[in-house]
Amino acid sequence: MGSVVISPSEVWFAFLHRIGLDIGAEPSFRAEAVLWDIRFPRILLGLLVGAALAVTGAVLQGLYRNQLADPHLLGIGPGAALGGALGSISGGVQGAIAGATAAAIATALITRRLGATRSLDPSRFILTGVALGAALTAWVGFIVFASDSTKVPPIQFWLLGSLTGSTWRALVTVAVIVGVGLSGLFFASRILDLFALGESEARHLGVDVDLATATIVMAVGAIVGATVGAVGVVVFVGLLVPHIVRRFTGPAHRPLLVSSALGGGLFVVLADLLARTLADPVDIPVGLLTAAVGGPFFLWLIRKPPRGEPT
């Protein structure tokens, strides 16, 4: 499926051919190039991005005990986009990833400070993130319009996210950052469970709350930043996927994070498949599709009565 038609058997033979097995029909040069240089990295990057966003969403929801928490709604995504746009001026895709990662860590730490303000109720915390995100997005716009369009990706890339143009090099960089970050978060899953009791209760049970929060938040920042640098802001994955997955796994973070990673990867790859084929041969930004599904879901979520209260 996609702008270039390749049959399933061609996919298989191209894969075998690449790993050195010359079995079956020799794949056409064109099919192999499309598959190997465009489709495979694109699918793998989609899996990574989806896993990254879904897991960080679940982690933020647990950490802040806030059902509406999501890396992009909290402003971490827009912060990363700003860093990514700045980074791409001088360093191309790798520069974008580096800049986005650094900026996302900084933004994540800022949201932690905002979230630490006790008087802030859950919805106002999210609104603070949305406001922060809007301001940061404006700066992304300024930078994009003020710089050389051959170097800095256009504004719709940053705001809507797109897997078009995924490369192996970008994939490897993202895989390293996301891989390290996600392993760290899986390792922290029991601590995240304890946060459900409240911060002081977690401390009473021996968790160094400040250290744990800072570490988790920085890991979230790095993971989100790497994905934004590579593919822009793909919205609502972090909100949508953990909420669906939680229905099957329950609240414990170990199964929740593992399943969110799988579910998120699948969700983004499927959304991207639609993005490539819906308006063939035009590539729709994948973030448009996740937003189309996620927006209404978000509305439903804020209208839903909170847990424990009668419906």
Partner 1 sequence: MTGVAARALTYAVGNATLVDGVDLVVSDGEFVAIVGPNGAGKSTLIGLLAGDLRPSAGGVELLGEDLAGVPVGELALRRAVLKEQGVADIPFDVRAVVAMGRYPHRLDPDNTQLADITAVDEALDRTSTSHLAGRVFATLSGGERTRVSLARVFAQDAPVLLLDEPTTALDVAHQERVMSQMRFEARRERAVVAVLHDLNAAAYYADRVILMAEGAIRAEGPPRGVFVEKILSEVYRQRMRIIDHPFRDCPLILVAD
Binding site for partner 1 (CB under 8 A): 65, 190, 193-194, 196-198, 200-201, 203-208, 250-252, 306-308
Residue 297 corresponds to which tokens in the numbers above? 């879901």
Q: How far is the CB of 69 from partner 1 (least distance, A)?
A: 14
Computed from CA positions of residues 207, 208, 213, 214, in that sequence, does the dihedral angle turn out positive or negative? Answer: negative
Q: How far is the CB of 209 from partner 1 (least distance, A)?
A: 8
226 near 52, Cβ under 8 Å?
A: yes
Which amino acid is residue 269, in one-letter code?
A: V
* Identity of the residue, 89 or 209, whose beta carbon is nearer to partner 1 in the bound complex: 209
Q: How far is the CB of 118 from partner 1 (least distance, A)?
A: 13
Residue in 76, 71, 84, 226 with CA at minimum distance from that of residue 157: 84
Angle between helices 168-187 and 40-63 (to 10 degrees): 30
* Identity of the residue, 39 or 253, whose beta carbon is nearer to partner 1 in the bound complex: 253
* Identity of the residue, 65 or 169, whose beta carbon is nearer to partner 1 in the bound complex: 65
Residue 281 corresponds to which tokens in the numbers above? 């041969």
Q: How far is the CB of 210 from partner 1 (least distance, A)?
A: 10
Q: How far is the CB of 308 from partner 1 (least distance, A)?
A: 4
Q: How far is the CB of 191 from partner 1 (least distance, A)?
A: 9
| Rounded Cα gap, residues 77 and 79, in angstroms | 5
* Identity of the residue, 55 or 226, whose beta carbon is nearer to partner 1 in the bound complex: 55
* Identity of the residue, 24 or 198, whose beta carbon is nearer to partner 1 in the bound complex: 198
* Identity of the residue, 107 or 189, whose beta carbon is nearer to partner 1 in the bound complex: 189
Q: How far is the CB of 188 from partner 1 (least distance, A)?
A: 13
* Identity of the residue, 80 or 207, whose beta carbon is nearer to partner 1 in the bound complex: 207
